[in-house]
């Protein structure tokens, strides 16, 4: 699999480490060092981060869904600002792009600006989701990956791949090395949400799911040593 331009999805919870909320600096610096190694290989890297370490608004019955999703978008921006600074502390150049204006904190997204950042060797953070409610960060990263003509989406998760059932509940759960996005949809395996899955299927965007907590997992995945699941389009 060619991986010259990749979109990396980090869950907000992964940034929190064992604390479950906020940030675990050692975890984020470890990610930064891996991304630095990948960038040194000449790879172009876009990053989307979830907001789950700050906000799980959809679980509330007392809040309008649109407002809950707006808070979620802001949570992803906070995460990107923090992680961007950690990346800069290890010598990487970064840019944060959002689909709506955030004053001087970010730049407004356009494909041309993002391509220019990639050309300059910057790590590009796509923050704020799609800018619209009812769309998850899964859908956000698929949209940006298709738009930016990425080779694949890398999903760094707490779990090391796709299983036929929840391995936490079923010790005999079977892990897939490879399967198609059509199978993911048909079997409702929940790798990414349905909207994002259908977009991947229609636009032939492959996914690689792997465990973030494994040593050098990002570097190894880009290097073709995949200890996870490849979802073909």
pLDDT given at position 21: 86
Domain ranges for the chain, please list them: 1-133, 159-190+223-228
pLDDT given at position 59: 67
- Tell which phi-psi region holds residue 125, choosing left (phi > 0), alpha (psi between -120 and 50) or beta: beta
Cα separations in angstroms, 21 against 48, 60, 175? 18, 18, 28
The CATH architecture annotation of domain 1-133 reads 3-Layer(aba) Sandwich (3.40)
Per-residue pLDDT of 5-31, as tens digits, reads: 999 999 888 888 887 789 999 999 999
Q: How far apart are CA 40 and CA 37, in angstroms?
A: 5
pTM to 2 decimal places: 0.94
Q: Which residues of the chain have pLDDT under 70?
A: 57-59
pLDDT given at position 132: 96
Per-residue pLDDT of 165-191, as tens digits, reads: 888 889 899 999 999 999 999 988 888
pLDDT given at position 33: 97
pLDDT given at position 17: 81
pLDDT given at position 207: 96
pLDDT given at position 20: 77
pLDDT given at position 168: 85
pLDDT given at position 159: 86
């Amino acid at each position: 699999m060619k991986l010259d331009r990749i979109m990396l999805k980090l869950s907000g919870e992964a940034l929190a480490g064992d604390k479950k909320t906020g940030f675990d600096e050692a975890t984020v610096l470890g990610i930064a060092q891996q991304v630095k190694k990948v960038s040194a290989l000449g790879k172009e890297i876009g990053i989307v981060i979830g907001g789950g370490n700050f906000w799980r608004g959809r679980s509330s019955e007392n809040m309008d869904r649109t407002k809950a999703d707006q808070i979620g978008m802001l949570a992803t921006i906070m995460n990107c600002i923090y992680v961007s600074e950690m990346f800069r502390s290890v010598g990487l150049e970064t840019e944060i792009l959002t689909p709506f204006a955030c004053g001087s904190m970010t730049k407004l997204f356009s494909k041309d600006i993002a391509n220019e950042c990639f050309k300059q060797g910057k790590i590009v953070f796509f923050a704020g989701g799609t800018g619209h409610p009812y769309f998850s960060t899964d859908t956000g990263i698929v949209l940006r990956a298709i738009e930016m003509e990425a080779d694949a989406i890398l999903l760094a998760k707490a779990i090391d791949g796709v299983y036929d059932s929840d391995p936490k509940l079923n010790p005999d759960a079977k892990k897939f090395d490879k399967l198609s996005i059509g199978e993911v949809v048909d079997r409702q395996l929940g790798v990414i949400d349905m909207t994002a899955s259908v977009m991947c299927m229609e636009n032939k965007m492959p996914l690689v799911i792997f465990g973030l907590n494994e040593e050098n997992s990002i570097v190894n995945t880009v290097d073709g040593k995949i200890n996870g699941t490849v979802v073909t389009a």
